[in-house]
């Protein structure tokens, strides 16, 4: 068995994927447990290859003008643009599949 700390792996909570500090290195998918403070903004972007699923485990975020709260899930298909504004401190589990490197394009 191996043991890790989220704070010591990945960047911004990304702990599975093709990242330098990932605890499980793979291009099959990416997985994160992310904290975004109130007022944080995720700039408009899209992925050419990956589908992205997010579960709000705590908090409130506005994504593309739609409000999401604890327990809500949203999915973006490849090519679908998205941006987020965090209305309060928010924790999110995010899964992207597949997980090729450099598949994030800012608009």
String of DSSP letters for 63-92: ETTEEEETT-EEEE-TT--EEEEESS-EEE
| β strands within the chain, DSSP E | 14-17, 24-25, 30-36, 41-46, 51-58, 60-63, 66-69, 73-76, 82-86, 90-97, 105-106
Q: Residue 37 domain-assigned?
A: yes
Q: Residue 4 domain-assigned?
A: no
Give, in order, the Cα–Cα distances in Å from 96 to each of 75, 87, 89.
Answer: 10, 23, 22
Q: Residue 63 domain-assigned?
A: yes
For residue 20, give the CATH number of its domain: 2.60.120.10
Q: Residue 1 domain-assigned?
A: no
Q: Residue 2 domain-assigned?
A: no
Which domain does 15 fall in, by range? 9-106
pTM of the model: 0.94
Query: Distance (Å, rounded) from C-alpha 54 to C-alpha 76?
Result: 9
- pLDDT, tens digit (0-9, with 9 covering 90-100), for 60-92: 999 999 999 999 999 999 999 999 999 999 999
Q: Residue 18 domain-assigned?
A: yes
Domain count, the chain: 1
Q: What percent of the chain has pLDDT over 90?
A: 92
């Amino acid at each position: 068995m191996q043991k890790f700390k989220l704070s010591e792996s990945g960047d911004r909570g990304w702990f599975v994927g093709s990242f330098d500090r990932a605890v499980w290195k793979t291009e099959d998918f990416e997985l994160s447990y992310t904290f975004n403070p109130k007022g944080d903004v995720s700039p408009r972007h899209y992925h050419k290859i990956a589908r992205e699923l997010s579960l709000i485990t705590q908090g409130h975020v506005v994504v593309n003008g739609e409000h999401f709260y604890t327990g809500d899930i949203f999915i973006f298909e490849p090519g679908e643009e998205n941006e987020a504004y965090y209305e309060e401190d928010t924790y999110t589990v995010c899964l992207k599949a597949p997980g090729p490197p450099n598949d994030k394009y800012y608009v």
